[in-house]
Amino acid sequence: MAGAAQGGAELFFERMTIALAQSGEAVLPVIRPDPDRVARLRAARLSPVGLRFGGLLDVLTRPRAARVLREFRADVAIAWMSRAAYHAPRGDWALIGRLGGYYDLKYFRRCDHLVGNTRDIVRWVGAQGWPRGRVHYLPNFVVDFAGVMPANRGGLGVPEGAALILALGRLHAVKGFDTLIRAMARLTDAHLVIAGEGPERAALESLIASLGLRDRVHLAGWRSDIGALLKAADIFVSSSRHEPLGNMVLEAFSASVPVVAAAAEGPREIIRDGVDGVLAPIGDDAALAAAMAGVLGDRGRAAVLAQAGRARFEIEFDQAVVVAAWRDFLRTVKR
């Protein structure tokens, strides 16, 4: 895995690697070195190997990876996203490309099989001409937040008794936080907490000020206590314009928090509208505000949505369920 220090795909790589090892599989993480990631993997009693995973002029990573895999006597090598797939070597192992989005398949041409974490990604890969028998759906799992204590609302700037709307993610235009903030201008009393950091912070701060929302919209920066934030929230909102999966929706399911989401690719597949969440058109602040108000204004409906989301988590996105599916898949493809 050659991804960044932060990111949903990168963090799921860590969770899956650790979970497979804890389930009894022999696992060797081969990564672009990041001190915090290395520390977390070592804390789980894994021994990560660091390689450069550079650009097109990097001619050393592939042969070094091949040597590492031979020494490990690998049965299966999983290339996690495009850069890792580009550098992944062929050998006596089955080479699996794992996609968490609609990636350019030219980077995966050496792979024996591809895995998509949504059914729509699997469908899309097949539509590009990839053999249908060699592309597979395996979902993500998220942490079980059932027993987590809620974060202190006062520390987030939310007064006692006010509704707390939570959003999570990098402050980037694709996340649609501008739409969400405009939607907040259509609501009264409710507070919005956005946990994340990124290049759009200044623009979002300016928008918040221009709409007179400084008292009710709070940019909380990066937070590591996602479960506690979710447990403190009345609803979770995903406003993304483009979201291949949306781990945060699964995390909200886990925490039994009702979900409102813009109907991007992943949330549209995951959420059964009106059953375990509510969908709104992408980029439509009026519709998003109406959807949020509808959930906040009906506690019974909110509770039903939350319970249905939790049931989906337990059946489809719990760690034990997903790891068992991955282990079954690995047994079928290994050489």
Q: Are residues 105 and 14 in the same domain?
A: yes
Residue 238's nearest CA partner among 137, 316, 165, 186 is: 165
Residue 245: Cβ within 10 Å count: 25
Q: Are residues 322 and 311 in the same domain?
A: no
- pLDDT (average), residues 218-234: 96
Say whether pLDDT at 183 is over 90.
yes
Q: Are residues 91 and 170 in the same domain?
A: no
Q: How far is CA 335 from CA 68, 80, 222, in A?
A: 18, 19, 42
- Report angle CA 119, 136, 256 to the nearest 5 degrees: 45
**Percent over 90 (pLDDT), the chain:** 95
5: confidence class by pLDDT, cuts 50, 70, 90: confident
The answer as to whether 1 is a domain residue is no
Q: Are residues 179 and 281 in the same domain?
A: yes
The answer as to whether 19 is a domain residue is yes
Q: Are residues 185 and 279 in the same domain?
A: yes
Contact call for residues 197 and 222 (beta carbons, < 8 A): yes
**Cα 328 to Cα 86: distance, rounded to the nearest angstrom:** 26
Tally of domains within the chain: 2
Q: Are residues 171 and 259 in the same domain?
A: yes
Contact call for residues 247 and 264 (beta carbons, < 8 A): no
Q: What are phi and psi of 290, to 5 degrees?
A: -65, -40
Three-state DSSP class for residue 135: strand
| Parent domain of 276 | 154-317
Instruction: Return the pLDDT at 171.
Output: 96
Q: Are residues 245 and 291 in the same domain?
A: yes
Q: Are residues 197 and 302 in the same domain?
A: yes
Q: Give the pLDDT confidence of 160-182 residue by residue, as tens digits.
A: 899 999 999 999 999 999 999 99
Token output for 48:
């990560």
Q: Are residues 162 and 308 in the same domain?
A: yes
Q: Are residues 256 and 159 in the same domain?
A: yes
Q: What are phi and psi of 281, to 5 degrees?
A: -60, 145
Q: Are residues 211 and 165 in the same domain?
A: yes
Q: Are residues 177 and 229 in the same domain?
A: yes
